[in-house]
C-alpha cells in the first residue's frame, strides 16, 4: 500500500543574479512498512528533501512538483504549504527526528511533559491516559526505566538517551511516516547500531514507513529496503537495496559500494577522485562527470534521462545500457 508519492519535486532559491537549484526532479514512492534510505554526501540536498516533505522549508524557497499522501484511501495533495490545514496533516502523517536531538527539546520542561503536550494535540485522552501513553512510548524506544526518564529534564539525558526520547517525541503524534535525519550520527558505532536495530523492530511492529537520511553506506545497506542515491540535488539511482548491493547501476553508486566492500575486507579502497561539489555551483550535464571514470562527451552536456525499472525505480546514467 503506497503511503507517499513524490513526483518531480524541485526546490530552488531565486537570487538577484542566479537561481540556486537545491533539488531537481526528485521522484520516489514509499509503501507502508518500507524503509527508504536516502544516501548522499554532504550538501547533496538530503536535508532539503526531508524539510520539503515536512513543509518546513524557509519562505523564500520555491518548490515545484507533487507530494501526495494516501491515508485511509484518501489522497492528500501537499502542494500549498501555506494552507492552514497543512499543519494538521503534517503532524498526523509525518514526523521527523532531527540530527541535533537535544535541540529539539524545550530545555525548560521535563521530557515526559513534552511528549504529553504532543499527545494532547493529536490524541484525545484523559491526563492519566496521556501519561500512560507517554510512558509506553518511552518504553517502546527501548528505555527500560521509563518513569525515571519521564521525569528528567533534557539536559540530564545522555547522548543515546536523548536520541531515543526524541524518537518517542516524534512518535507521539502517531505518524504514518517517520523521517530520521542522520539518526544517531553523533553516537559511536556500537550505540548507533543498537539504535538502528531498535528503530527497525519498532517499524516492523507498527507498520511505520521510514525515511533514513544517511551518509554512511554501511548503515544504509544494513537497515533499509530501498535506497535513493542523491548527488548534487539530483536522484542518481533509486532501487531495491539488494539490487544496489549486487549490481549497482550508476558509476557513483558502484564506487561507493566498492569503497564499502573493500573497507569491510580491510583493504584500502580505490578512491573517487575530486571533491564533493557545492550545490551552489552549476555543473552542466551530469554533475558527477568530473569525477566519473566512464564519462563521455554527452555527460558533459546533458543530464541523462532516467531509465525506469519496476516500481518507479530508476537510474540516471548515459552508460547504463552500454555497461550491461
Partner 1 sequence: MKILPQKTQTNQSMTSGCITIGLVFIFLLLGPLLTPINHTSQNLSASLQPPSSSHWMGTDYYGRDVLARLVFGGRITWIIAIASTFMAVNIGTIIGLFSAYQGGWIDLIVMRLVDVMLAFPKLFVVLLIVGLGASSTSLLIWVLALFSWMEIARIVRSEVMSQKNRTYIKSVRALGLRTPRIVFIHILPNVLGPVIVSSVLLISTIILVESSLSFLGLGVQAPSASWGSILNDGRIDPLGTWWLSVPAGLLILTTVIGFNLIGNGLHKQLDLKKIV
Partner 2 sequence: MNSSRQKQPILEVNNLHVEYPVNFRGGFRRQKKQAVNGVSFTIFPGECFTIVGESGCGKSSIIDAILGFVKIKTGTVLFEKQDLTKLTPKNFRKLRPKIQPVFQDYNQALNPHQRIEDIFRETLPKHLLESQTDQLLSSVGLSKEIIRCFPHQLSGGQKQRVVLARALSVNPALLLLDEPVTSLDMSVFVQIVELLISLRKTRNLTFLLVSHNLSIVHLLADRVAIMKNGQFLEQQPLTTLLRNPKHDYTKNFINQITQL
Contacts of 67 (CB under 8 A, 6+ apart): 4, 5, 6, 7, 9, 52, 53, 77, 78, 79
25: its cell numbers: 526532479
d(CA 264, CA 306): 31
Asked whether position 38 contacts partner 2 by CB under 8 A, the answer is no
Among 5, 10, 32, 43, binds partner 1 (CB under 8 A): 43
Which residue's CB is nearer to partner 2, number 270 or number 301? Answer: 270
d(CA 242, CA 35): 13
Which residue's CB is nearer to partner 1, number 77 or number 280? Answer: 280
Asked whether position 269 contacts partner 2 by CB under 8 A, the answer is yes
* 58: partner contacted, choices partner 1, partner 2, none (Cβ within 5-8 A by kind): partner 1
Asked whether position 108 contacts partner 2 by CB under 8 A, the answer is no
Which residue's CB is nearer to partner 2, number 137 or number 220? Answer: 220
Strand runs labelled E in the chain: 2-14, 19-31, 35-39, 62-71, 74-77, 94-97, 177-181, 209-214, 226-231, 234-240, 307-308, 314-315
Asked whether position 232 contacts partner 1 by CB under 8 A, the answer is no
Asked whether position 20 contacts partner 1 by CB under 8 A, the answer is yes
Asked whether position 161 contacts partner 2 by CB under 8 A, the answer is no
Among 19, 158, 262, 280, binds partner 1 (CB under 8 A): 280
Q: Write the binding mask 168 to 187 for partner 2: x where contact by CB under 8 A, - elsewhere.
A: ------------------xx
d(CA 318, CA 19): 26
Q: How many CA atoms lie within 13 A of 23 on its CB side?
A: 28
Which residue's CB is nearer to partner 2, number 150 or number 252? Answer: 252
Q: Per this entry, what is the length of the chain?
A: 324
Asked whether position 218 contacts partner 2 by CB under 8 A, the answer is yes
The DSSP secondary structure of 87-135, one letter per residue, reads HHHHHHHEEEE-SSSGGGS-TTS-HHHHHHHHHHHHS---HHHHHHHHH
Which among 27, 25, 22, 26 is positioned nearest to 12, based on CA atoms? 22
Among 7, 200, 222, 294, binds partner 2 (CB under 8 A): 222
Asked whether position 202 contacts partner 2 by CB under 8 A, the answer is no
Which residue's CB is nearer to partner 1, number 14 or number 273? Answer: 14
* 139: partner contacted, choices partner 1, partner 2, none (Cβ within 5-8 A by kind): none
Contact (CB, 8 A) for 91 and 121 = yes
Asked whether position 158 contacts partner 1 by CB under 8 A, the answer is no
φ and ψ of 71, to 5 deg: -130, 130
Q: Map the footprint of partner 2 across residues 225-254, applying CB under 8 A.
A: none
Asked whether position 47 contacts partner 1 by CB under 8 A, the answer is yes
Q: Map the footprint of partner 1 across residues 56-95, applying CB under 8 A.
A: 58, 60
* 33: partner contacted, choices partner 1, partner 2, none (Cβ within 5-8 A by kind): none
Among 32, 152, 200, 215, binds partner 2 (CB under 8 A): 215
The DSSP secondary structure of 226-262, one letter per residue, reads EEEEEETTEEEEEEEHHHHHHS--SHHHHHHHHHHHH
Which residue's CB is nearer to partner 1, number 30 or number 213? Answer: 213
**Interface with partner 1 by CB under 8 A: which residues?**
13-16, 20, 22, 43, 47-48, 51, 58, 60, 280
Amino acid at each position: 500500500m503506497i503511503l507517499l508519492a513524490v513526483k518531480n519535486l524541485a526546490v530552488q532559491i531565486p537570487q538577484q543574479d542566479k537561481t540556486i537549484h537545491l533539488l531537481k526532479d526528485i521522484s520516489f514512492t514509499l509503501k507502508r512498512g518500507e524503509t527508504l534510505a536516502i544516501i548522499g554526501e554532504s550538501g547533496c540536498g538530503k536535508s532539503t528533501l526531508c524539510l520539503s516533505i515536512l513543509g518546513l522549508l524557509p519562505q523564500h524557497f520555491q518548490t515545484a512538483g507533487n507530494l501526495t499522501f494516501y491515508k485511509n484511501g484518501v489522497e492528500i495533495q501537499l502542494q500549498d504549504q501555506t494552507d492552514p490545514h497543512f499543519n494538521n496533516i503534517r503532524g498526523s502523517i509525518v514526523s521527523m527526528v532531527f540530527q541535533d536531538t537535544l535541540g529539539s527539546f524545550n530545555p525548560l520542561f521535563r521530557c515526559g511533559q513534552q511528549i504529553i503536550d504532543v499527545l494532547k494535540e493529536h490524541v484525545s485522552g484523559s491526563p492519566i491516559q496521556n501519561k500512560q501513553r507517554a510512558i509506553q512510548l518511552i518504553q517502546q524506544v527501548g528505555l527500560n526505566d521509563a518513569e525515571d526518564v519521564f521525569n528528567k529534564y533534557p539536559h540530564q539525558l545522555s547522548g543515546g538517551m536523548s536520541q531515543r526520547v526524541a524518537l518517542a517525541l516524534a512518535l507521539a503524534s502517531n505518524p504514518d511516516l517517520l523521517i530520521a535525519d542522520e539518526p544517531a550520527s553523533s553516537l559511536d558505532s556500537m550505540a548507533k547500531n543498537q539504535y538502528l536495530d531498535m528503530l527497525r523492530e519498532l517499524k516492523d511492529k507498527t507498520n511505520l514507513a521510514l525515511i533514513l537520511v544517511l551518509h554512511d553506506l554501511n548503515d544504509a545497506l544494513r537497515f533499509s529496503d530501498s535506497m535513493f542515491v542523491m548527488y548534487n540535488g539530483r536522484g542518481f539511482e533509486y532501487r531495491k537495496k539488494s539490487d544496489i548491493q549486487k549490481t549497482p547501476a550508476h558509476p557513483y553508486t558502484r564506487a561507493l559500494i566498492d569503497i564499502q566492500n573493500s573497507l569491510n575486507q580491510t583493504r584500502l579502497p580505490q578512491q573517487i577522485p575530486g571533491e564533493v561539489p557545492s550545490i551552489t555551483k552549476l555543473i552542466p550535464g551530469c554533475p558527477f562527470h568530473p569525477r566519473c571514470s566512464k564519462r563521455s562527451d554527452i555527460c558533459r552536456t546533458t543530464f541523462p534521462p532516467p531509465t525506469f525499472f519496476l516500481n518507479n525505480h530508476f537510474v540516471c546514467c548515459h552508460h547504463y545500457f552500454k555497461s550491461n
